[in-house]
A and B are shown apart, each in its own frame.
Chain A
Amino acid sequence: MSNVIELKNVDKSYTNSGFLKKTTCAHILKNISLQVEKGTTLGLVGESGSGKTTTTRMILRQEKPTNGELFYEGKNVEELTKEVEEEYRNNVQVVFQNPYSSLNPKMRVGEIIAEPLVITGKYNKEEIKKRVRSIMEKVGLAQDYVERFPSEFSGGQRQRIAIARALIQNPQLVILDEPVSALDVSVRGQIMNLLKRVQEKNKTTYIFISHDIATVGFLSDTIAVMYFGTIVEYGKTEDILENLRHPYTEMLISSDSVRNLSEAEEESGEIPSHYDEPKGCPFAGRCKYATDECRNVTPQLKDIGDGHKVACHNAESITLKSVVKINRRKPEYQI
């Protein structure tokens, strides 16, 4: 087993020191530890604002953690040699949550998609052209779009430009931040199938963020559920979706099955604030199982068996239910 990426006890705070304003500090990521094995997918799910994108910023090294360490293939990224450093930059690709702002508006789409190949300096013009054409076809973009600029595309087409660019040079690790949110179901299916095929063929590793539970479940081997800057549940996809043990995971997954607005539960309890952190479990204010202990003592992420980790004082005592079924395994009677 080899981990492509490992985060160990990563913290991230942002300090705001405005002129004539008092300095405030927001503690955005708290003690995040994650491992992603080669050729597998880690799914990140959680509430909007819980720190999923910030976690990927650490991995992309756009920002440094305030505390904690990041390892690439077992090596601390702060101590990489020049060559490995370069390899890392080439081999880690990303599809940003907001595709439009991440595409250079002055470049033609053909150039945008080809860029990661061009940077490696290993391919001639003909080869590059061929690969651009092939990946565009795979993501469902017409060939005559190559000369266009990003502003000349629809939301979903921009998202596919970003995906084509991220996949073109068979990277080792791809971070996909809501990569299919703007696509119709048919194109979404096409992209999801493509991602799976690419992974099977090239042993690509993915970190996949989505609010759509079914989409995350489709691709992920392991899932981390985030809430207010912490990981509240972490484990194999089957454990998280079918055998979930954290009340927030239950809430997230049961909201997914609501088919009628009037059956949606009225939201009670406040969203915790970064500037006035609650004592105890951050979810306690909204949790129907919360006890005094929850409101006073912050629960730690604990292994409850077989690598399934939960941060909840009541994990062993409450019974939660899941509404998702996984039909991924091929029927056993089939030869």
Chain B
Amino acid sequence: MNILEVKNLVSQLNTEDGVLHIINDVSFAVKEDECFGIIGESGCGKTMTSMSILGYSDRIGLKAVSGEILFKGEDVLKFSKKRLREYNGKEAAIILQDPMQALDPLFTIKDQMIETIRRHQKVSKKEAEKIMIETAESLSVAKEKLNCYPHQLSGGMLQRIVGAMVLSCRPKLIIADEPTTALDVTIQLQYLKLLKRLQKEYHTALIFISHDIKVISMMCDRIAVMYAGEIVETGTRDDLFYHPKHPYTQALFKATNIDGNIRERYETIDGAPPNLKEEIAGCPFAERCQYATDACISGKPEVVKINDEHTVKCRRIADE
């Protein structure tokens, strides 16, 4: 069963200097109980897609031009204000990339956590406190840190607190937007294990966004690769890691330092991502792609199905 289906989503942002094409025909589905990973270049629209799924588009000025976002069959884009309030936090929630955007500097962590828990669950203050302490301790945040104000905590502690806040509300769909960037590897492993455990225990679907390919491979069953507002390849973890088809996916893995050893220089992908001001006629990666032909630049590639789970948007594969 799919808990979420994003279908041909096209979203734009109206800015001072014109329309930006932020999300360009994105489709994917997330099953109940599954951990779905999204990787892709910085600025390709991962956070924007997440905000759309949570129904925050209007708030950030993002306009869905076409497509649907079906949460249990209901279109999030058509939710009333009232329905949206129920949905946010309780049914679907996001662990934000920047923890300070989720916290109020004027209140202690404890006050904010208890408030959040009680907003979404009918529990007494005492019970809420218990849930809070349990979740915080399982993430190695010492109890006394809960009495602190946000500025008194380290970067990694804030990140764990924000994660704990979302997890303690037990939503059905969690989007984790780079939730472990400020954590040392030891605590990161602990966090990931907890996330996985809660996901199994409460049958939560998880969308996990990260630049850390190692983390993605540990967490996710299926993975989507995004580039300039499009999903260029989707597949199971093994499909992608052992048989990447799209030239961007291949380049990304080639640039990844998989063995963790230290070298003289880093590999990079030459060139820069396209400008989002113009609608891209062809494949967004064409300009940087060593295999690109004229056809790649002038027209959109079809989605090619490699197997039931593995799909790729690339002419070269289609022509094979």
What residues of chain A have their CB less than 8 Å away from a CB belonging to chain B?
A: 14, 45-49, 52-53, 97-98, 100-101, 140, 142, 144, 147-148, 152-157, 160, 177-178, 181-190, 192-193, 196, 211, 213-214, 217-218, 241, 251-252, 255-261, 264, 267, 271, 273-275, 323-328, 330
Q: Which of B17, B153, B262 has the most CB of A within 10 A?
A: B262
Give the CA-CA distance A154 to B229 in the complex, in Å: 13
Q: A189-B266, A217-B262, A252-B185 are in contact. List 6 more A-B contacts (CB 8 A).
A: A155-B47, A184-B41, A184-B252, A185-B252, A326-B262, A328-B262
Interface Cβ pair total, 8 Å cutoff = 180
Distance of A324 Cα from B251 Cα, bound (Å): 24
Query: Are the C-beta atoms of B196 and A261 separated by less than 8 Å?
Result: yes
**Cβ A252 vs Cβ B218 within 8 A:** no
- Of all A-B residue pairs in the complex, the 3 with the closest CB atoms, nearest first, are A48-B156, A156-B42, A189-B266
A333, B204: Cα distance in complex, Å = 56
Taking the nearest CB of chain B, how far is it from the CB of A258, in angstroms?
6
Q: How far is A155 from B192 in the complex, measured between Cα atoms in Å?
A: 21
**Complex: how many Å from CA A125 to CA B40?**
37
A190 close to B157 (CB less than 8 A): no
Question: Which residues of A sit under 8 angstroms from B178, Cβ to Cβ?
Answer: 155, 182
Return the contact of A267 from the options B140, B157, B218, B264 (Cβ within 8 A).
B140
Which chain B positions have C-beta within 8 A of A211? Answer: 156, 181-185, 188
A324 to B257, CA, bound (A): 12
Kindly identify which residue among A156, A184, A185, A218 contacts B263, using a CB–CB cutoff of 8 Å: A218
B269 touches A213 (CB 8 A): no
Q: Which residue of A lies closest to B267 (CB)?
A: A189
| CB-contacts of B30-74 with A (<8 A) | 39-43, 46-47
- Chain B residues contacting A259 (CB-CB under 8 Å) are 214, 217-218
Q: In the complex, A260→B241 CA distance in Å? A: 14
Is the beta-carbon distance between A327 and B268 smaller than 8 angstroms?
no
Q: A182-B211, A256-B185 are in contact. Are A100 and B100 (CB under 8 A)?
A: yes
**Chain B contacts to A: CB under 8 angstroms:** 15-17, 39-43, 46-47, 97-101, 140, 142, 144, 152-157, 160, 178, 181-190, 192-193, 196, 211, 213-214, 217-219, 251-252, 255-257, 259-269, 272, 275, 277
The CA-CA distance from A128 to B262 in the complex, in Å, is 36
Inter-chain contacts of B265 with A (CB < 8 A): 193, 196
Q: Using Cβ atoms and an 8 Å threshold, which residues of chain A touch B256?
A: 185
| Cβ–Cβ < 8 Å partners of B269 in chain A | 186
- Closest residue of B by beta carbon distance from A329: B264
Contact of B211 among A48, A183, A328 (CB under 8 A): A183
Q: Which of B46, B101, B153, B188 lies at the interface centre, i.e. has the most chain A CB atoms within 10 A of its CB?
A: B188
Residues of A contacting B262 in the complex (Cβ-Cβ under 8 angstroms): 214, 217-218, 241, 324-328
- Give bound CA distance, A144 to B153, whole Å: 36
Say yes or no: A261-B218 contact (C-beta < 8 A), given A53-B155, A156-B42, A328-B263: yes
Known A-B contacts A155-B97, A252-B184; A182 and B266 likewise in contact (beta carbons under 8 Å)? no
**What is the bound-complex CA distance between A267 and B139, given in angstroms?**
11
Chain B residues near A97: list those with CB within 8 A: 155, 182
Instruction: Give Cα distance in the complex from A218 to B15, angstroms.
Output: 39
Which residues of the other chain, A, contact B214 by a CB distance below 8 angstroms? Answer: 259
Assess the A185–B189 pair: CB atoms within 8 A.
no
